[in-house]
Structure 1
Amino acid sequence: MTSESNQPTGRRTHVLFDVDGTLIDALDNQRRVWRTWARRHGLDPDEVHRVALRTRPVETFAQVAPDRDPQECLAALHELEDEDVRSGVYTAFDGAAELLSRLPSASWALVTSNYEHRVRGRFARTGLPVPALIVDAAAVGEGKPSPAPYLSAAARLGADPRDCLVVEDAPSGVLSGLRAGMTVWGVNTPHAVEGVHRHYPTLREAVPDILAFASAGRGSR
C-alpha cells in the first residue's frame, strides 16, 4: 500500500465508487461484448478490445471503424451490453457486499461510465445494495478522465470535493478523481495506477480503511 500525507478536513466525508473493475468483475463480459461487436463488423476482435480498454465507445469507433456511422455502432454495442446484463455471469469482488452494506446510506454513491439501468441490473445479479445516487454516462456531458462525473456526484451529495474519497481501478477514473480535487485510492491492480494516494492490490484489503474514512473523516489519507 502506498500513501501520501494529505490530511482530511474533518468534515462529513463521502465515498464515490467506480463500478466495473472496482466493485464488480466485468472484464470478461466487456471483452466478450466488444469481441462480438468486432466480429459483426468484420474487425479484429483483439485490436478492438485493446482500443476499447482505454477509450470511450465513440472514440473507439473513430479509431477502429472510422467509415461507419458512430450512432449505428453505438446502438449495436448497447444492444449487446443490455443482453449481457440479462444473460451474462457477474461476480462482485470479495469485500464489496460487506463494504457497501456497512457504509452509512447517505455517505456513498456510484460514478460510472456505464448507464444506470445496466448498473442496477448488475447489482441485482450480484446482490449488492444500490445507493440513492448513481452518476452515469447520461448524467454528465464529459466522461472520465474529465473531473465532471465526480464533481457532479459531490455537488448532488452536497459534499466538498476535498472530503470525498474516490475508489477506482482504471487510469482514466483515477485522473478524473484527481482532477476533481479528491482523495483517490486504487484497488484491484497489481501495481499502483499513477497518481493514487493509496494502492491496494485487492478491494478486500481496502475495506477497513474505506470504512474508517467514511465513518470518521479523520486519520491519514
Structure 2
Amino acid sequence: MILPCAAVLFDVDGTLVDSTPLVERAAREWAAEYGVDADEFLSDAHGRRTADRVADFLPPGQVAEATERLDALEATRSDGITALPGAVDLLTNMNGLPCAFVTSMDRAQLRTRTEVAAIPVPPTVVTAEDVPEGKPDPSGYLRAARRLDVDPAACIVIEDAPAGIAAGRASGATVLAVRTSHPPGALSAAHHAVEDLTRVTATPTGLRLTTARSVAMARVARSVTRRGGPRG
C-alpha cells in the first residue's frame, strides 16, 4: 500500500525511541515523593507532556516544581534507551521526502534519547517548549507543517499513543499508528496501523506499507534467487 504525502511528521518516544524502562523508574521514584499512585500516573502518561500529566494529580501551584523534579529524574539517566525496529533505517532513507519530529519531550530529553539511540534528527523539530498545549492538542503538528511549508492535510503523522493519534487527526493529517507501546484496540482512531517501522519505507512522494505476509514472501523470493531459482 502506498500512502501519498508531502511530508512525514514523527512522534519520537515510543515511535522511534524506546525509553520505557527509564521513564517508569523515574516516574515511580517521583510518585513516591509526591504521594501519587505510580500505576495510575503511568496509565495515561505516554505521549503527553510531563506538565500536562502532572497537572492531573497536583494542585496548580505545585505543577511547575513537580514537573521540574520529574524531568530532572529522567535527565540523570540514559539506561535502557534503544532505537525501535526500523526507525534508523527509515530516517536515513527518506528519499528526499521532508520530515519533522513532534515530541512531548523537552529539548534536553530529546537530545539525550536520540543521541543514546543513534537516531538521526531532522532540522525541523517541535518540542514541548514550542507549543501552548500538548497532545492531544494538534498545535505541535500544525507548527511542524508550517515550518516545512506544507499543508497539514498533506502530511502523514506517525504515532504510537492515543493522545498523539488524536493530535494528528485534529491537525487534519493522515495518521499511521505503530503498535510498539499500546494494544491494537487503543490505536483504532488511526487511519492505518503497522507493527513497527520495519513495515514502512519512504519514496519521494509518500510511504509504502508492507504487511507481515508480504515481508515473508519477499524473504522467500530472495532465498529462492540466492539458490538459483525454483526447481521444476
TM-score scaled to structure 1, two decimals? 0.83
Q: Alpha-carbon deviations, 1:113-135, whole Å to 9, x = none?
A: 10122212211111111110110
Residue 67 of structure 2 corresponds to residue 74 of structure 1:
yes
2:11 to 4, 7, 18: 18
Aligned residues: 206
Maintained 8 Å contact 2:15/2:160: yes
Identity, % of aligned positions: 37
Residue 44 of structure 2 corresponds to residue 64 of structure 1:
no
Higher relative contact order (CA 8 A, sep 6+): 1
AA matched with 1:202: D
* Cα deviation, residue 191, structure 1: 1.0
Instruction: Name whichever structure is richer in strand by fraction.
Output: 2
Name the residue aligned to 1:202.
196
Q: Secondary structure at the match of 1:121?
A: helix
Structure 2 gaps, min length 5: 210-232
What is the correspondence of 1:1-221 to structure 2 with a 5 Å cutoff?
8=4, 13-53=6-46, 56-66=49-59, 69-84=62-77, 87-104=78-95, 107-188=98-179, 189-191=182-184, 193-205=187-199, 207-208=200-201, 211-212=202-203, 215-217=204-206
TM-score scaled to structure 2, two decimals? 0.79
Distance, in Å, in 2 between the alignment partners of 1:218 and 1:71 is 40
Structure 1 gaps, min length 5: none
Maintained 8 Å contact 1:15/1:107: yes
**Counterparts in 2 of 1:116 and 1:54: CA distance versus 1, 3 Å:** closer
**Counterparts in 2 of 1:152 and 1:59: CA distance versus 1, 3 Å:** closer
* Cα deviation, residue 32, structure 1: 1.1
**Counterparts in 2 of 1:44 and 1:203: CA distance versus 1, 3 Å:** same
Maintained 8 Å contact 1:190/1:201: no
Distance, in Å, in 1 between the alignment partners of 2:71 and 2:207 is 42
C-alpha RMSD of matched pairs (Å): 2.5
